Structure 1
Amino acid sequence: MKHSIIIPTLNEEEKISHLLEFLTKNALSDSEIIVVDGGSKDKTIALVKRFENVNLIETKKASRAYQLNEGAKKATGELLYFIHADVLPPQTFEADIEIALQKEYEFGCYRFVFDKNAIMLKFNAWWTRFDFMFCRGGDQTLFVTKDVFNQLNGFDEHYIIMEDFDFILRARKKFKFRIIPKNVVVSARKYKLNSYFKVNMVNLYSYWSFMLGKSPEKIRDNYKTWLKFD
C-alpha cells in the first residue's frame, strides 16, 4: 500500500528541515511527502524547495483542516499519514502503520514523548497510552486509509482549531482505531514559552469548549490570546 505523508506548515523554518531530512531518509522508496504551506512569511517555503522529492503545495489560507484536506486531494497514496512539522515519528513508522492495517485497524495514532526531559511533561506524555479522547490530538500524528478519509469527507474545515478531535470523534463511530504502542517525539516549545500550568489549563479549556459545542472561532481566539507562540 502506497503511503502519502502530509505536513501542514506555517512559519516552521526552525523545524521543517529536520523533519524532511528524517522522512526522506526513513520513508519507503514509493512513499510521497507532501508539504502544504498556509502562507509562511519566514524561510519555510525556501527550505522545503531544497528537497527535490518533496511535493510543495502553497496556499494562502492558514487553516490546518483546509491544508490537510488540500494535501489529501493531491495525495496518490492509499494511506494518508498526517504529521506536524515539530514532530518526529519512530524510524519504523511505516512498518508500524502497515502492521496496524494488517490487523484491520483503519486509522490511528502514536503515543508521544516530549523533546524536553521534565517530570511534568513526562506525566502529560504518559497519558497518551490510554484510549481517552482528551489524550488525543494532532501531535500524536494520524494515519488513516484514504477510503475512510473520503467516507468521512476529510477534516471539517469549520474547525479552525480542534479539527483533529472532530475527525477522530466522527471516525470512531464507524471505524476501528489503534494507538500504536510506540512514541513520536513532540517539541516542548509551547511549554518553554508558557508555563506548564498555563498550557494545560488552556488545553483543558479548549477541549471542554469543543465537547460542549462552543464556536471554533471563540476557542481559537482565546487560545491565541492566552498563549505565546514563537
Structure 2
Amino acid sequence: MQSNPKISVLIPVLNEEKGLGTVLKNLYSSATTSQIEEIICIDGGSADRTVDIAKSYGATVISSKRGRARQMNAGARHAKGNILYFLHADTLPPKGFDKTILEAVENGSQSGCFRMKFDSKNPMLRLFGWLTRINHTLCRGGDQSLFIEKDLFELTEGFNEDYFIYEDTEFIQRLYEQTEFKVLPEYVITSARKYRDKGWVKVQFHFGMIHLKSYMGAGPEELYRYYRKNLLT
C-alpha cells in the first residue's frame, strides 16, 4: 500500500430517500481522519429523492444498471481512492471507522469487515449480530460493510454481476480463499427493517436456505428465483 492511502466510500442505492441522509450524516460525523477521498452513491434508477439527498450531502452520484453487484463494480471503476469501503444504504459505520480501516491496511490486512449489530432488541437478532465476531465465511454478509484494497479488488475481478442477491457473500468467499480476511472489533449498526417487515423467523429461515442451496451448488439464477418467491412476495 502506498503512503498516505485514501478511502473511497461506495454506497449502492435504490429508492433510499428515507434513510440515506442519516447514513451520509453519520459518515461525516464518524470520520476522524482527512483520508476519505470521496463518498460515491451509485444509483440503480431511483424514482424518489435519493439522488437529490445524496447530492445535498456532498456525495458524488453516478448511475448504473440496477443490481448491487453491478452498482458496486461501477463505483469501484469510478473510485479514486486506493482503499474501497462498500457500505449498504441502511448501515451506520462506527466512530473512527476510517482510522480503524487505515490501521488494518497498514498492518497488512488487504480486506475485511466490521462486526455488526441490528437496530433491534430482538434476542435472536442480537445473537446473529454476536456471531459476526467469528472469522468464518458462514458469519459474513454485506451488512457488515467491506473494505478492500483497490488493487486486490481488481485482481479478483470484483463482484460477480450474475448475482442479484448473495453477491457480497460470494465475493467474500473468494476473498477468504486468496487473502487473510480481517474482522475488525468495532460494530456497524444495520437496519432490521426486512426482519420487522417479514418476520425474523421467516427471513432467517429463507436466508439459511439460500446459504444451503449455494453450498449445494445452486447458481445465481436459482438463488434469485428462490429469494423472489419467498421474500419478495
Unaligned runs of 5+ in 2: none
Q: Indicate if the aligned counterparts of 2:109 and 2:182 stay in contact, CA closer than 8 A.
A: yes
Q: Offset at 1:179?
A: 0.2
Correspondence for 1:189: 193
Q: Indicate if the aligned counterparts of 2:30 and 2:93 stay in contact, CA closer than 8 A.
A: no
**Count of matched residue pairs:** 227
Correspondent of 2:55 among 49, 70, 81: 49
| 1:1-230 equivalence runs, <5 A | 1-27=5-31, 28-31=33-36, 32-51=38-57, 53-59=58-64, 61-228=65-232
TM-score normalised by L of structure 1: 0.94
Whole-angstrom distance in 2 between the partners of 1:101 and 1:94: 11
TM-score normalised by L of structure 2: 0.93
Q: Offset at 1:58?
A: 1.7
DSSP-derived class of the 1:108 partner? strand
Whole-angstrom distance in 2 between the partners of 1:148 and 1:65: 16
Whole-angstrom distance in 1 between the partners of 2:190 and 2:12: 15
Q: Indicate if the aligned counterparts of 2:144 and 2:188 stay in contact, CA closer than 8 A.
A: yes
Unaligned runs of 5+ in 1: none
Q: Indicate if the aligned counterparts of 1:190 and 1:228 stay in contact, CA closer than 8 A.
A: no
Q: Offset at 1:42?
A: 1.8
| AA of the residue aligned to 1:185 | I
Q: Offset at 1:30?
A: 4.2
DSSP-derived class of the 2:56 partner? coil
Q: CA RMSD in A?
A: 1.4
Q: Indicate if the aligned counterparts of 1:109 and 1:180 stay in contact, CA closer than 8 A.
A: yes
Whole-angstrom distance in 1 between the partners of 2:169 and 2:83: 20
Q: Indicate if the aligned counterparts of 2:12 and 2:71 stay in contact, CA closer than 8 A.
A: yes
Q: Offset at 1:225?
A: 2.5
Whole-angstrom distance in 2 between the partners of 1:30 and 1:102: 13
Whole-angstrom distance in 1 between the partners of 2:15 and 2:137: 29
Detail structure 1 runs of 4+ shifted over 6 Å in the superposition.
none
Whole-angstrom distance in 1 between the partners of 2:55 and 2:93: 22
Whole-angstrom distance in 1 between the partners of 2:154 and 2:24: 26
DSSP-derived class of the 2:115 partner? strand
DSSP-derived class of the 1:206 partner? helix
